[in-house]
């Protein structure tokens, strides 16, 4: 029987970590992810887990400690947000290229500057090409479930990459919601033990981790890293299917909401998808054929699957809670339009909205503006501007 509980997204992530019982958790506090290691430290203090908790002096040190622990053959986890993630930047790349499946709870927050503690996706989107698998969570339940699946995905022998599980700072991280927990013994069986083939403390097969890698081998190692990310898509689906058998909760690479006969759709990540679903329901009651696609997996990017899903619509709005400052569009938009172009899908009209930067509220009326524009585009076939801002004072 599933355990019914009420908890915040941060506590849900910490409980998942407790049930996994990693060898090492290294973390430095930063809003709004501070509660994750704070909750976990109480589990350590109470003897509920036998994890070595390392209270470091910075986020750079936190990721360095995780890299060291993982390289030594342990299972390591951490949590951070925004500037903390930025301070880890150098070591993010080292973890990925060293093929160390560290798991991170990334509680999305605006990346300075200007200084801001509220939610957008500029932190994780800035790290999108660091070589980490990225999984996004609409609500507390998804944050918990994705954390339970993260180790299985990253530690698969065909993958061996670090995994970042993202949720929206404050919006879900601090909001209390009903949640269903998996029993401890089932989690232990599902996640299993971490038994890497190669690790520093294996005296029978000594190795070096992080050595100088000249042009003689660096390119080949990067190619292997890229292949591992390609392999991850299949593994994510396999792990998600096994998780569904255990819990009844089904996850794919993305979620389609009322898209069967839809003519226009919004594509959006994380908690804003919940607001958009509310508007979809309202518009459906009025007979308007609208739908939603919510990506769950951003790295690896599911090119074939998402293009196939989007190809049937007349008009699409991709909503980005981060700006790429490239004068062309946000990161999710440019990924999707690039994928569609590469696959020869030119039918749908695709526009971009940058929204919610610095924690700007996104209301149902804002989502209505987007759907109304899509309905107009679907009717006329004309697009005025592709690169748009929503809810900003111009």
The predicted structure's pLDDT at residue 211: 83
Which candidate, 290, 263, 22, 291, places its Cα nearest to that of 163? Answer: 22
The predicted structure's pLDDT at residue 201: 94
What is the average pLDDT across 272-294?
98
3-247 with 254-390: one CATH topology? yes
Residue 128, SS3? Answer: coil
Per-residue pLDDT at 227 exceeds 80: yes
CATH superfamily, domain at 3-247:
Thiamin diphosphate (ThDP)-binding fold, Pyr/PP domains (3.40.50.970)
The predicted structure's pLDDT at residue 319: 99
Nearest-angstrom CA–CA distance, 251 and 65 = 32
Per-residue pLDDT of 251-274, as tens digits, reads: 999 999 999 999 999 999 999 999
Q: In what order do the strands lie in the sheet containing 133-136?
A: 52-55, 24-27, 76-80, 103-108, 163-168, 133-136, 297-299
Q: What's the chain's average pLDDT?
A: 97
What's the fold here for domain 254-390? Answer: Rossmann fold (3.40.50)
% of the chain exceeding 90 in pLDDT: 99
Q: Which residue carries 């569609």 as its tokens?
A: 340
The predicted structure's pLDDT at residue 102: 98
Q: How confident is the model at residue 83 (pLDDT cuts 50, 70, 90)?
A: very high
Q: How confident is the model at residue 210 (pLDDT cuts 50, 70, 90)?
A: confident
pTM of the prediction?
Answer: 0.97
The predicted structure's pLDDT at residue 2: 86
The domain locations on the chain are: 3-247, 254-390
Sign of the CA dihedral running 384, 270, 243, 53? positive
What is the average pLDDT across 119-131?
98
Residue 105, SS3? Answer: strand
The predicted structure's pLDDT at residue 249: 98
Per-residue pLDDT at 4 exceeds 90: yes
What is the average pLDDT across 295-299?
98
């Amino acid at each position: 029987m599933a355990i019914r509980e009420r908890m915040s997204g941060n506590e849900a992530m910490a409980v998942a970590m407790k049930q996994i019982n990693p060898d090492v958790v290294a973390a430095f506090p930063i809003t709004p992810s501070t509660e994750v290691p704070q909750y976990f430290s109480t589990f350590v203090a109470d003897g509920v887990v036998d994890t070595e908790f390392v209270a470091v002096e910075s986020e750079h040190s936190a990721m360095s400690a995780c890299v060291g622990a993982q390289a030594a053959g342990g299972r390591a986890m951490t949590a951070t947000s925004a500037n903390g993630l930025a301070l880890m930047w150098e070591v993010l790349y080292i973890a990925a290229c060293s093929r160390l499946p560290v798991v991170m709870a990334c509680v999305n927050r605006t990346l300075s500057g200007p200084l801001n503690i509220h939610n957008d996706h500029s932190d994780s989107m800035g790290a999108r090409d660091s070589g980490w698998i990225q999984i996004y969570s609409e609500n507390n339940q998804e944050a918990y479930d994705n954390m339970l699946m993260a180790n299985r995905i990253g530690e698969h022998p065909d993958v061996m990459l670090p995994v970042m599980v993202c949720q929206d700072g404050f919006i879900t991280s601090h909001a209390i919601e009903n949640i269903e927990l998996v029993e401890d013994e089932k989690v232990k069986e599902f996640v299993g033990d971490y038994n890497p083939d190669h690790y520093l403390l294996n005296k029978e097969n000594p190795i070096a981790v992080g050595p100088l890698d000249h042009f003689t081998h660096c390119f080949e190692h990067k190619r292997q890293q890229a292949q591992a990310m390609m392999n991850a898509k299949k593994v994510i689906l396999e792990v998600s299917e096994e998780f569904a058998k255990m819990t009844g909760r089904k996850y794919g690479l993305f979620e389609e909401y009322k898209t069967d006969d839809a003519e226009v759709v919004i594509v959006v990540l994380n908690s804003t998808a919940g607001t958009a679903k509310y508007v979809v329901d309202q518009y459906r009651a009025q007979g308007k054929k609208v739908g939603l696609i919510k990506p769950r997996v951003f790295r690896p990017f599911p090119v074939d699957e998402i293009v196939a899903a989007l190809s049937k619509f007349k008009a699409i709005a991709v909503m980005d809670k981060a700006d790429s400052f490239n004068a062309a569009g946000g990161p999710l938009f440019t990924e999707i339009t690039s994928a569609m172009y590469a696959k020869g899908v030119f039918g749908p009209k695709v526009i971009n909205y940058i929204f919610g930067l610095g924690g700007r509220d996104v209301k149902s009326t804002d989502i209505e503006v987007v759907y109304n524009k899509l309905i107009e585009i679907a009717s006329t076939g004309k697009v005025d501007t592709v690169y748009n801002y929503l809810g900003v004072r111009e």
